């Protein structure tokens, strides 16, 4: 999916109401969410009452000082003015702390639901950079869930204040209400336009931020530290980072500049409102007998009304702006799962089971180029198949299709005559134990990296470590199997060598004991002799299992039952090593070239050793 295919966002009143109804239902699903909303309503009523106290009492005090100056009444008014905020503070303090606890519980539940969806998404969908950016915005909505309730709470508080203030101002002059409403409406439309413009800018900033952060991550990560130093990439990467940061700064400046438009409008309209209001109230005091306390009460009331109206408008604009993100959220969680996740059937593999690619073609999303072209091949259980071919021949894509990480563009993949998409995806994928060239080492302990779970079978773990030649490494580690892989979390952790990492990946595959082992260039970092040794060991480990290995180097193909030569997305040669070599085709040419290279390299090494011996003599 590409950004041009993502739906256009709306910011109309009906869309804002619709998206916020969705969010309200989302919060109300959890008991703690319902409790949070109820407390917010009660706090809104309390805050509205406190506002009335702060509006009226100062005016009453002024009138009492000007007229009767009754000490008891003044003391009572001052005490009320002092005590009400204190009571409000402590009520707010304890309710807010309680609300934090219940919101944290609900938030954790919402996060769990989000990650449950995310981790089950189709691999090919999640791979899209556009979808990744959509994910980030959708994820921000999950974190904002109770922020949405807080905004509604402020909205309700402001609404109650407006009702109480209107009842006071209408006794003076209803035209004052029109004045305040006009200034608020002007500010509303200015803010709304700028908010949407900044939302579009934020999307551009997200793209720019991704590029900048990736360069920054490259400079900071230990993964690229060797190449950066040996190839002298320091200045090149710094310049790349600067380019991204300058582009981001320009967008940020443009966005910040736009925010001054509504501020300017608010400043001018507020000044006009202030002049007209003070002029009218002073006229009322001088010519109509309005008391000074009355002036204070009306002035505070109008200020509260104006503030509450602005608060309602601002909160609406917040909801309106957030509604754009909410639309992103609902678009993200409604992305369809191309794989049939509702299927219940689990695959049953037998000794004579066959997985067949029948007329399969595949193009990556957003590309018209077919990486796999009308591929036909059968994979028999308890058979070792080796797939060879040049880079770009479609070997790794074949594995992704086989494991249902991708869905064929044309054709079908069958297990014993049944389309693999008819099986429950999770159950089907448990058929395979992958060992990739770009294997993943998680920020977990060595034991957890192997078992990928909390509880381990100790005897099985010990056996797997022996079979994968990890026992000597475990003995050297400070905490044995409980030692952290990598030093990012625990400074006592250890960094793996290429060979150690590959052995961990092999141990992981062996521990999970699945029917078909997938080896996608798992020994690329090893020399030919070490590679052959590891393949021989691995062949012995899984003697009664099926295995599919992908390799550029042909030192281990003689251990396979069958060899498939891939070229331009389909099989051009298929058979045993002996059969293919005797045909004198592509396979023969590849094998002879590599054999010639290894013989030449061995000869050069022997000549070098003879020279060393001769010089020593």
pLDDT higher for 418 or 67? 418
- Kindly state whether residues 177 and 284 are assigned to the same domain: yes
- When pLDDT is averaged across residues 237-265 and rounded to a whole number, the result is 81
Q: Which of 495, 527, 561 lies at the terminal end of a domain, its last residue?
A: 495
The token pair that represents 555 in the structure block: 């030192």
Are 448 and 436 part of one and the same domain? no
Residue 167 has pLDDT above 70, yes or no: yes
Residue 542 within a domain: yes
In this model, does residue 283 exceed pLDDT 90? no
| Boundary (domain end) residue, out of 464, 495, 526 | 495
Instruction: Supply the range of the domain harboring residue 309.
Output: 10-333
Indicate if 430 and 487 belong to the same structural domain: no
pLDDT at position 606: 47
Q: E strands of 462-554, at which residues?
A: 516-520, 546-551
Q: Quick one: 383 and 315 in the same domain?
A: no
Domain CATH code at residue 519: 3.40.50.300
Q: How far apart are CA 302 and CA 179, in angstroms?
A: 10
Tell me: do 412 and 491 sit in the same domain: no
Residue 607 lies in a domain: no
Pairing of strands 546-551, 384-389: parallel
Same domain, residue pair 375 and 488: no
> Is the residue at 240 inside a domain?
yes
Q: How many structural domains comprise the chain?
A: 3
Q: Are residues 405 and 290 in the same domain?
A: no
How far is Cα 380 from Cα 382, in angstroms, rounded to an integer?
A: 6
- Residue with more model confidence, 286 or 572: 572
- The mean predicted confidence, pLDDT, of the chain is 81
Higher pLDDT, 25 or 302: 25
Does a structural domain hold residue 615? no
Pairing of strands 432-436, 418-419: unpaired
More reliable by pLDDT, 579 or 599: 579
Residue 162 lies in a domain: yes
Q: Is the pLDDT of residue 524 over 70?
A: no
Which residue, of 264, 299, 333, is where some domain finishes?
333
1: pLDDT strictly greater than 70: no
Listed residue (492, 372, 346, 486) closest to 425, CA to CA: 346
CB-CB neighbours of 352 under 10 Å: 9
Residue 339 falls inside a structural domain: no
User: Regarding predicted confidence, which is higher, 581 or 70?
Assistant: 581
**548 shares its domain with 526:** yes
Same-domain pairing of 162 and 218: yes
Question: Which pLDDT value is given to residue 376?
Answer: 94
Q: Across residues 3-30, what is the average pLDDT? A: 74
The CATH number of the domain holding residue 127 is 1.20.1560.10
Q: Are residues 323 and 435 in the same domain?
A: no
Tell whether 606 is covered by a domain.
no
Q: How far apart are CA 559 and CA 556, in angstroms?
A: 6
Same domain, yes or no, for 169 and 294?
yes
Range with lowest mean pLDDT among 186-190, 534-538, 544-548: 534-538
pLDDT tens-digit series, residues 171-199: 767 777 777 778 778 877 777 777 777 77
β partners of residue 371: none
Residue 249 sits at the vertex; the CA angle it makes with 247 and 253, to the nearest 5 degrees, is 120
- pTM score of the predicted model: 0.66
Residues 549, 468 share a domain: no
């Amino acid at each position: 999916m590409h950004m041009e295919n993502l739906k256009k966002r709306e910011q109309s009143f009906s869309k804002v109401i619709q998206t916020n109804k969705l969010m309200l239902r989302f919060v109300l699903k959890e008991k703690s969410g319902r409790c949070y909303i109820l407390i917010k309503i009660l706090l809104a009523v309390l805050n509205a009452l406190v506002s009335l106290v702060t509006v009226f009492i100062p005016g009453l005090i002024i009138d009492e000082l000007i007229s009767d100056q009754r000490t008891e009444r003044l003391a009572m008014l001052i005490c009320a003015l002092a005590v009400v905020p204190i009571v409000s503070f402590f009520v707010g303090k304890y309710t807010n702390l309680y609300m934090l606890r219940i919101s944290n519980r609900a938030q954790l539940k919402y996060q769990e639901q989000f990650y449950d969806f995310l981790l089950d998404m189709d691999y090919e969908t999640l791979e899209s950079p556009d979808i990744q950016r959509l994910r980030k915005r959708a994820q921000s909505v999950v974190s904002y869930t109770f922020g949405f309730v807080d905004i509604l709470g402020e909205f309700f508080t402001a609404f109650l204040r407006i009702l109480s203030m209107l009842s006071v101002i209408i006794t003076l002059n209803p035209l004052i209400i029109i004045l305040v409403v006009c200034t608020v409406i002007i500010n509303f439309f200015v803010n709304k336009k700028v908010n949407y413009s900044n939302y579009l800018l934020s999307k551009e900033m997200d793209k720019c931020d991704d590029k900048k952060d990736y360069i920054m991550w490259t400079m900071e990560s230990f993964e690229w530290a060797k190449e950066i130093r040996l190839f002298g990439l320091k200045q090149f990467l710094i310049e790349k980072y600067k380019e991204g940061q300058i582009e981001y700064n320009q967008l940020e400046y443009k966005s910040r500049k736009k925010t001054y438009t509504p501020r300017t409008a608010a400043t001018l309209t507020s000044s006009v409102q202030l002049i007209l209001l003070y002029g009218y109230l002073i006229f009322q005091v001088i010519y109509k007998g309005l008391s000074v306390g009355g002036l204070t009460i009306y002035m505070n009331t109008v200020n509260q009304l104006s503030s509450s109206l602005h608060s309602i408008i601002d909160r609406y604009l917040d909801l309106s702006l957030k509604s754009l993100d909410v639309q992103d959220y609902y678009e993200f969680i409604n992305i369809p799962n191309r794989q049939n996740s509702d299927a219940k059937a689990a695959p049953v593999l037998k000794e004579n089971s066959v997985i067949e690619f029948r007329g399969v073609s595949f193009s990556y999303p957003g590309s018209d180029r077919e990486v796999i072209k009308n591929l036909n091949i059968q994979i028999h259980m308890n058979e070792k198949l080796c797939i060879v071919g040049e880079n770009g021949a479609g070997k790794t894509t074949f594995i992704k299709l086989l494991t249902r990480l991708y869905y064929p563009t044309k054709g079908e993949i069958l297990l014993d005559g049944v389309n693999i998409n008819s099986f429950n995806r999770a159950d089907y994928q448990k058929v395979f134990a992958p060992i990739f060239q770009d294997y993943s080492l998680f920020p977990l302990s060595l034991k957890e990296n192997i078992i990928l779970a909390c509880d381990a079978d100790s005897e099985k773990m010990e056996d797997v470590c022996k079979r994968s030649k990890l026992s000597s490494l475990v003995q050297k580690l400070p905490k044995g199997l409980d030692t952290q892989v990598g030093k990012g979390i625990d400074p006592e952790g250890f960094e793996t060598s290429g060979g150690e990492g590959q052995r961990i990946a092999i141990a992981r595959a062996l521990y999970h004991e699945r029917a078909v082992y997938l080896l996608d260039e798992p020994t690329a970092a090893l020399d030919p002799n070490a590679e052959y040794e590891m393949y021989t060991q691995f062949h012995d480990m899984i003697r009664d299992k099926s295995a599919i290995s992908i390799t550029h180097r042909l030192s281990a193909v003689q251990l396979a039952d069958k060899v498939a030569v891939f070229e331009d997305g389909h099989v051009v040669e298929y058979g045993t090593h002996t059969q293919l070599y005797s045909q004198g085709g592509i396979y023969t040419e590849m094998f002879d070239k590599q054999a010639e290279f290894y013989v030449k390299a061995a000869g050069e090494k022997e000549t070098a050793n003879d020279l060393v011996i001769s010089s020593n003599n």
